[in-house]
């Protein structure tokens, strides 16, 4: 049976990388008569604060050797932590082992080491802690008799309970679970660094809580966001939030989608997202013009949407945004005058992402019952060299540029997806439809008379000619699609019949 009675702390071992709050904790322990063992930098910090400590090497009568690799791995340390007080007292006595009732330890963030530009395998290996995880796991395992603390935010709980006399089993159990999570995360980061395969036989994932939310997609769902430990890249979770309410689950999903889409472009770009779909996108030279075209592409859907820029948001753009209701504006940076204008709209979230470039390779993970689906992110880039015109009618140079623009946007829309664009501006989007021809009709309806002279892109091949028949009188000049259907020739013939140019990409861009 595990001891579930409260325990008194007579001896503590403190060895931490994160020294926040450790002096205050040690002072409280010392005032309560607790003997303190410590190592290295932690011992120095405590002595500098005039708190008496005993070096681990002094207690074990064994020096730190091998450049500190051998320090706490010693029977006097591990026995003092792991021993069961009701079973192993004799072993402890004859081997001069003193019980260690509290272990305060946290680990150097390995992620910071491997994130440095000069990190190589040798440096990474030198920063793999052995003694620390061993002490933490030993203390967490012996939860009946030992308390472990890896998080400075828990020091006040320990102090409070000790001042009342003893530490409860409920607290020890909670802190043990936290400790096992700490070492699991540490080992996972190391595992992911050392493995060679992107999709290895054992997939290890670890994240740390970023924030809790009022609810998830719906009010009856609980939700929280988690971030990759040590990740400092420009993204939504690392953004500076200048104002507005706390980000919701749906806010983060949509903002992440908007950021992913706007990162497609080198030119000045604006992306407006609603329910994870880009309802308005435009590129050009002038930010105000780009924003105006993106918003007017589907102003109805843009209401309550997410606006993303890949350039500094200016005062004149902020003035226009303040005339409408949107949930979030995000950009690499903001002019001070723009931030002042946004303050008039208290509920508007303003996110400064920092300078960013194109998306980098990463894994996408989705939950399914019983497991996960994992794939690498679609960052495949198409150029005009990938295009193959298969019809009698030929696209112009402008049509080809528009087709490339359209393809960059379309892969951020839900399948089945059809997108119509012209003049580097989206005109109509049909997304998330269960049939391709339905998506065509939706895009046509959204675009109205503006589709004339536009380019229509499909995220997958046309299984029948019905989609081409649907656009025959629309004025659409060019269709771009992957090709690959057994009825490709039937679809090509339909385009030839209506004088529409068709480009095959050879690449699909489904997004489910």
- Per residue in 267-306, pLDDT tens? 999 999 999 999 999 999 999 999 999 999 999 999 999 9
**d(Cα 270, Cα 281) in Å, to the nearest integer?**
6
Q: Is the pLDDT of residue 356 over 70?
A: yes
Q: Within 10 Å of residue 419's Cβ, how many Cβ atoms?
A: 32
Asked which of 164-168, 337-341, 462-466 is least confident by mean pLDDT, the reply is: 164-168
Computed over every residue of the chain, the mean pLDDT equals: 93
Question: What was the pLDDT predicted at 196?
Answer: 65
Q: Is pLDDT above 80 for 178?
A: yes
Residue 462 has pLDDT above 70, yes or no: yes
**Span 222-255, pLDDT tens digits:** 999 999 887 889 999 999 999 998 899 999 999 9
Looking at the predicted structure, is the pLDDT value of residue 391 above 90? yes
DSSP state of 360: P
pLDDT score recorded for residue 206: 82
Residue 201, pLDDT above cutoff 80: no
Strands of the 35-38 sheet, one edge to the other = 54-55, 35-38, 11-16, 102-106, 147-149
> When comparing pLDDT for 140 and 197, which is higher?
140
Query: Is the separation of the CB atoms in 56 and 77 below 8 Å?
Result: yes
Comparing 286 with 188, the larger pLDDT belongs to 286
Least confident of 131-140, 189-198, 310-319: 189-198
pLDDT (0 to 100) of residue 232:
84
pLDDT value of position 281: 98
Q: Percentage of residues in the chain with pLDDT exceeding 70?
A: 99
Copy the structure tokens of residue 443: 């895009």
Tokens 């700490």, located at residue? 182
Nearest to 359 by CA among 205, 256, 275: 256
Are 269 and 283 in contact by the 8 Å Cβ rule? The answer is yes
pLDDT of residue 230: 76
Q: Where residue 451 falls among pLDDT bands split at 50, 70, 90?
A: very high
- Evaluate the CA torsion angle 330, 333, 338, 341 in order and state its sign: positive
Give the integer Cα–Cα distance in Å for 154 and 170: 13
- Known catalytic residues are 141, 275
Helix pair 131-141, 75-82: axis angle to 10 deg? 30
Q: What is the pLDDT of residues 395-404, one digit of tens each?
A: 999 999 999 9
Span 467-494, pLDDT tens digits? 999 999 999 999 999 999 999 999 999 9
Strand order in the sheet with 268-274: 240-243, 349-352, 328-331, 306-309, 268-274, 277-284, 425-430, 418-422, 455-458, 478-481, 501-504, 388-389
Helix/strand/coil for 446: helix
Read off the pLDDT of residues 206-225 as tens digits, 9 standing for 90 and up. 888 899 998 999 999 999 99
Within 8 A by CB and 6+ apart from 171, the residues are 147, 157, 158, 161
Q: What is the pLDDT of residue 197?
A: 66
Q: Domains of the chain, with CATH numbers? A: 11-194 (3.40.50.1380), 237-352 (3.40.140.20), 383-504 (3.40.140.20)
pLDDT tens per residue, range 33-61: 999 999 888 999 999 999 999 998 888 88
Predicted local confidence at residue 216, as pLDDT: 94
Of 93 and 70, the one with more pLDDT: 93
Alpha helices in 83-221 (DSSP H): 89-94, 110-115, 121-126, 131-141, 155-163, 169-194
Q: List C-alpha distances in Å: 42 to 16, 146, 192, 241.
A: 6, 21, 29, 35
């Amino acid at each position: 049976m595990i001891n579930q009675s409260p325990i008194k702390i007579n001896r503590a071992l403190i060895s931490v990388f994160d020294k926040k709050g450790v002096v205050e904790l040690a002072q409280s322990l010392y005032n309560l008569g607790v003997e303190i063992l410590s190592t290295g930098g932690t011992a120095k910090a405590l002595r500098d604060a005039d708190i008496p400590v005993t070096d681990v090497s002094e207690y074990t009568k064994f020096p730190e050797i091998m450049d500190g690799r051998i320090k706490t791995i010693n029977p006097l340390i591990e026995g003092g932590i792991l021993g069961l007080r009701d079973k192993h007292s004799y072993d402890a006595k004859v081997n001069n082992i003193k019980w260690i009732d509290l272990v305060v330890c946290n680990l150097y963030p390995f992620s910071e080491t491997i994130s440095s530009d000069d990190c190589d395998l040798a440096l990474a290996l030198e920063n793999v802690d052995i003694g620390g995880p061993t002490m933490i796991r030993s203390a967490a395992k012996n939860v009946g008799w030992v308390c472990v603390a890896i998080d400075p935010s828990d020091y006040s709980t320990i102090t409070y309970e000790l001042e009342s006399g003893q530490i409860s089993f409920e607290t020890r159990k909670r802190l043990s679970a936290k400790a096992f999570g700490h070492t699991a995360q540490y080992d996972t980061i190391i595992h992911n660094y050392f493995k060679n395969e992107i999709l290895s036989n054992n997939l290890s994932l670890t994240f740390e809580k970023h924030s809790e939310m009022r609810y998830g997609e719906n009010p009856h769902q609980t939700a929280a966001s988690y971030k990759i430990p040590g990740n400092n890249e420009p993204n939504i979770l690392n953004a500076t939030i200048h104002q507005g309410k706390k980000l919701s689950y749906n806010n983060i999903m949509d903002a992440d989608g908007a950021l992913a889409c706007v990162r497609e472009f080198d030119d000045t770009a604006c992306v407006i997202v609603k329910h994870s779909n880009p309802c308005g996108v435009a590129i050009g030279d002038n930010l105000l013009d780009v924003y105006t075209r993106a918003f007017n592409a589907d102003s109805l859907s843009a209401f309550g949407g997410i606006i993303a820029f890949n350039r500094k948001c200016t005062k004149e753009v902020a003035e226009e945004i303040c005339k409408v209701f949107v949930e979030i504006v995000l950009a690499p940076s903001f002019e001070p005058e723009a931030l002042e204008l946004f303050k008039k709209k208290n509920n508007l979230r303003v996110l400064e992402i920092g300078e960013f470039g194109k998306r980098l390779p990463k894994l996408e993970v989705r939950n399914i019952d019983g497991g996960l689906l994992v794939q690498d992110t679609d960052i495949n880039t198409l150029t005009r060299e990938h295009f193959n015109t298969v019809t009698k009618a030929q696209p112009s140079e402008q049509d080809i540029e528009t087709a490339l623009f359209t393809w960059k946007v379309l892969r951020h829309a839900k399948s089945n997806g059809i997108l119509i664009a012209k003049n580097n501006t989206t005109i109509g989007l049909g997304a998330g439809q269960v049939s391709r021809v339905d998506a065509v009709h939706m895009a046509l309806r959204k675009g109205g008379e503006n589709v004339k002279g536009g380019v229509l892109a499909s995220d997958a091949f046309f299984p029948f000619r019905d989609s081409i028949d649907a656009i025959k009188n629309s004025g659409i000049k060019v269709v771009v699609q992957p090709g690959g259907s057994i009825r490709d020739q039937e679809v090509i013939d339909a385009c030839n019949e209506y004088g529409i140019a068709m480009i095959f990409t050879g690449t699909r861009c489904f997004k489910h």
